[in-house]
A and B are shown apart, each in its own frame.
Chain A
Amino acid sequence: MISHVVLPAVVPPAVLRASSADFYLPLSWNVVEDVRQVLSFPFMVNAVRAGTVAAVLAGVVGWFMVARRQSFIGHTVAVVGFPGAAGAVWLGMSATYGFFAFAVIAAALIALASGSGHDGQAPGEDSAVTGTVHAAAVALGFLFTSLYGGFTGSATALLFGSFLGVTAGQVQLLLAVAAVAVLALVVLARPLLFATVDPAVAAARGVPVRAVSVAFLLLLAVAAAEVAQVTGTLLVFALLVVPAATAQALTPRPAASLALTVVIGIVIIWAALFVAFYRPYPIGFVLTTFAFAAYLAAVTWRYRARALTRLRTRLSPAGGGWATGRATDARDAGVPS
């Protein structure tokens, strides 16, 4: 059963519109009614469910990925899903398995190939190794889609997303995988953050830094494979990087920014689905545009807030960290030897 990748079982209005410009569902200004209309289509219900699951997993994993500066690896393991999915389709299997299998294998390869980690380098920091895997993956994906033959549409679907054709069975698999991955990340969270912020101290305090880093790479692969099935392999960052980067720009509190990441991810995927249902723009574009707008707004807000703080500090030289720092120095300097 391969049709859900290349041709959705239920043809969404957006696809029909592509061929006949006359057909589109009317958008009323009653949002509740519009949402009800969207959700009256089973393929849209599946899309919302798959998108929500992917947004949650991408949020928590992406938060750590951004904090660890491993975005390039995130992109690579997602791109590796492309030959995986194309190969699976070529062999007549579900693309879902191809996404997961190839992404996890690629993450394991990157972890293996990039040193022991004893020199203080986290596994996967070697961007040359990652880049090599990246190039090989894209070439292999191109080969598989060529072998499958004919359907240039399938390559586009794998690269830029095809989730209007997600089946109920796929949603269940995505949910099960995401549940296990989120649980694993909850267990890892604190040592992982410690190993991210301060690897040397974490190692001295008994955190198995290398094992934790490798485990995270595998989780990152799972998350990227999940998101790739919704957004396509080239646009995973819309859910994997942007919500986390937006939240981290807004607050430096770890728990708050992690929660905010998930919320931002869910909101933009819902908004994107809604708009893509009513307008002839591809879902990947709509999703990425919303994500970009959120990030832009957050960065603008942060610079405004910082400028205000700076102004306030300048206006009241008696308050703030400056004076306290001085007092502490004076106290320390006054300690007799």
Chain B
Amino acid sequence: MTDRHPPAAGEPTPDAPLLELIGAGVRVGGRSLWSGVDIAIGAGEFVAVLGPNGVGKSTLVKTVLGLIPLSAGSLRVAGRPPGAANPVIGYLPQRRSFERRVRIRGIDVVRLGLDGNRWGVPLPGAGRYSARARAAAARVREVIELVGAEAYARRPVGELSGGEQQRLLIAQALVSRPRLLLLDEPLDSLDLPNQAAVAALVSRICRTEGVTVVMVAHDVNPILTYLDRVVYIAAGGAATGRPREVITSETLTRLYGTPVEVLSTSDDRLVVVGSPEAPALHVDRHTPGDHAPHHRGRP
């Protein structure tokens, strides 16, 4: 860990932002994705990163993880430079689901999040004499209970529904007690009831575990009621603030540089109309019919 601010060495002060970008910009393949982005996210906040396809939302997540370098500005996670803070980050990448043929249990996938990066293997039967092995197993059970996956955690993960897999992956991201959860489109590829349930689960974890959640989302509506703030990225820049302040006709028109209208439906959902890449925030992208096979847990 190389901290360049001596007073802030070690743990940052409680009110210091957990994630801070100042004048940050990034170039991928010679093309500037976004620049001049200022974000400060405090401990325990639930923040969504919104914006149209290809604007660089996943790239933002990767810069926080130190996988892609910034081209301008600075980025600090828990007072540390990107990459150095990864042990306190729980990451859920944008993904397709596990293939049906993956013959490994959900509980093993969760366990990898705890010590999968260590060399060597635990001795068989370590739980009988090692307190650390027992603590590890207990922690895995705890997060599986937290996400409500007890019933299927011991089944092959490839045979589970999209919603079940997503819960186990959230458990995997949580198992190492991170201070920041980075979730890249966790609601994508889920049907509407599962989107609502997983959004509620993430919000519950954010409140009860005191974890900061940064969720990249394509559609803000499933998480709208839970959000503290949103970061809206478009056309090279970004706007940050409370959802109802950012997702407005004025702000988005300014961000996109073309007229954009935000409509509110009778059930308080938001619809963005007229943006250059229209499907940024629409509601009917996931029709009730497109749910994953072997879907359980439908309310």
Contact = CB atoms under 8 A, between A and B. Distances in A.
Contacts of B113: 201, 205
A335 B203 contact: yes
A255 B226 CA distance: 41
A301 to B, nearest CB: 14
B117 A205 contact: yes
Contacts of A190: 112, 115-121
Interface in B141-183: 147-148, 150-152, 154-156, 164, 172-173
Nearest to B120: A187
B117 A194 contact: yes
A165 interface: no
Contact of B86 (A193, A204, A324, A329): A204
A322 interface: yes
Contacts of A255: 124
A207 B226 CA distance: 34
Given A322-B296, A328-B197, A197 B117 contact: no
Contact of A197 (B104, B147, B193, B225): B104
A204 B178 CA distance: 13
B103 A203 contact: no
A325 interface: yes
Given A252-B156, A325-B148, A335 B204 contact: yes
Range of interface residues on chain B?
35 or more
A189 B117 contact: no
B116 A191 contact: yes
A255 B115 CA distance: 15
Given A201-B172, A253-B105, A194 B152 contact: no
A206 interface: yes
B102 interface: yes
B103 A249 contact: yes
Contacts of A252: 103-105, 108, 154-156
A67 B102 CA distance: 7
A205 B91 CA distance: 9
Contacts of A67: 103-104
A67 B158 CA distance: 12
Given A190-B121, A201-B93, A333-B200, A321 B112 contact: no
Contacts of A197: 98, 102, 104, 109, 112
Interface in B104-147: 104-105, 108-109, 112-113, 115-121, 124, 147
Interface of B: 65, 67, 86-87, 89, 91-93, 95, 98, 102-105, 108-109, 112-113, 115-121, 124, 147-148, 150-152, 154-156, 164, 172-173, 193, 196-198, 200-201, 203-204, 207, 225-226, 296-299
Given A204-B89, A333-B197, A335-B203, 8 more contacts: A67-B103, A193-B104, A197-B112, A198-B109, A201-B173, A207-B116, A332-B201, A337-B225
25 contacts: A186-B121, A190-B116, A190-B121, A191-B117, A194-B117, A197-B102, A198-B93, A198-B109, A200-B91, A201-B113, A201-B172, A202-B117, A204-B86, A204-B89, A205-B91, A205-B113, A248-B103, A249-B103, A253-B108, A321-B296, A322-B296, A325-B148, A328-B201, A329-B197, A337-B226
Interface of A: 67, 186-191, 193-194, 197-198, 200-207, 248-249, 252-255, 257, 320-322, 324-333, 335, 337
